[in-house]
Every structure is written in structure tokens, then in C-alpha cells.
Amino acid sequence: MTDAPEFPSIPALFDLGGRTVVVVGSASGLGQSSALGIADAGAHVVCADLDEAGAQSTVELIAARGGSAKAAALDVTSTESVEAIVAAHADAAALVMTPGLNIRKRMLSTTDEEFDRVIDINLKGTYRLMRGFGAEMAERGRGSIVTFSSFRAIVVEPGQGLYAAAKAGVVQLTKTLASELGPSGVRVNSILPGPFETPLTVQIKSDEEWWNAYAEKTALGRWGILHEIAGPVLFLCSDASSFVTGHSLLVDGGWMAQDGRFSPRV
């Protein structure tokens, strides 16, 4: 009989001290909150975004909290831009990808150009980053990749077709890369946020009925608060999730857990 392994310190498993984490889409919204949370855990964060000024603002927020970060310009629709950031940060211990574009239109009213734009940012941009950083991590034999899909990968509503299709594709890319890189020691997981107030949901907030309906559909009866994404991201980036890969983690306030149409008097 072999001795049981020593039980580790659980708080230490969440410690990212000495590691570099690249957070794409960190200028605002869920990406900015992810970057702040990861920096709080001790990582040096590369805040990458098409909006470099916004990324720099996130760097300043991290610095004000005593953390370490730098800004980097990145266009996820450009293979050359992605390859450049991979080369510059090939030693990254983790990659988090949050960029998204949603064009809310009924499918019969959409255009080829809108389809291509939504797919290029949400799906192909994620693919480019996964491919680049995945190769580097596989060579080193370790690393964590966290993609951002959406609860819309599972359930839809009228006007969400292009976005839902792209985000469903992200889930499948995540599972595939998890399968392919698992033997190399690289983990790949996806977060599926529910309703959070971000730049992507400004259109919904402008319609009180639409906004309130979303809140009422969740089991918690409200929208998510931006900082509430940081814990799940940290978990998947850290050693606390060392046996978790190929997973789709819903962070949706219980949206998918209940029917939501009616509360019977029972």
C-alpha cells in the first residue's frame, strides 16, 4: 500500500503568484473583471484588447489595487496580430478570452457581412488564440485556456441566431482542444455567462420590459454583477481546477436550472 499524497493547502491552489495570464477583451465588462480578479490572485496580467486605451485603464485599476499588469493591442480578427501576442507571451500560464459581438436581428433580416463579422470575432478569433497559445502550452506540458461562450449556446430567443451559433461553436472548439491537449497536460474549459450588464447588453437595458424579464428568469431574480465572473475565471485558471477540462461552466444565476415561466402554488 502506498502512502496517501499530502493534502495541499486549498487557498494555495488559487494562488497565481509568479504566473503570467493573458486576458483578451480586458478593456471593459467581463474581461476587465476577469483581469482584476486574476491580478488579485497574484498573476501578472497581460491586458489585451483592440481598445488599447481601455486596456491601459484596466492596467491602472490593477496597479491601484497593488497588482501587476501591462496593456497590449490585439485584433482577434487578424492572424498576424494574434501570432504577435503569442510570440510575445509564449510563457503565459493561462489564457482567458472574453471578446464578443452580438447583432440582435431576426435571421431573415441578417446579411452575409453581419454573419461573417459575428463569426470572425466570437468563433474564429477564439480559434486563432486557442491554436496559438495551445501550441505553446502543449510544448511546455502545462497551461490553462478559458474560453467565453454564453448561455445562448444552449438556449436562444428570436434575434440571437448568429451569436448563439458562434458561441455554440466555441463550446465545441473547447471540448475538442481539451481532448487533443489533455495528454500534454493542458486544460481547456469554457465559461457560459448568463445575463450580465456589459457593453453587449446596453440594447437590453434600454428596454425596461426586456431587462426585467431577464432578471425574473434567473433563479436569483436579478442580473449578474461584473465581479461575480472573477471567481469562476480564477478557479479555471488556477490549480484548484487541476482535474477539470472540457467543461462548460454556467455562470447564469440559475437561468438554466428552472423553467422560469410560472411559480405554481404548491
Cell numbers at residue 131, please? 491554436
The answer to whether 191 and 229 are in contact (CB under 8 A) is yes
Separation of alpha carbons 233 and 175, rounded Å? 17
Closest alpha carbon to 152 in 3, 255, 45, 8: 255
Q: Of residues 163, 214, 223, 235, which has the active-site annotation?
A: 163
Angle between helices 29-40 and 52-64 (to 10 degrees): 30
Closest alpha carbon to 22 in 80, 100, 79, 99: 99
Strand order of the β-sheet with 248-251 is 68-73, 44-49, 20-24, 94-97, 143-148, 186-193, 248-251
Separation of alpha carbons 128 and 150, rounded Å? 19
Assess whether 214 carries a catalytic annotation: no
> Exposure of 133 by Cβ count < 10 A (0-12 exposed, 13-18 middle, 19+ buried)?
buried
Active site residues: 163
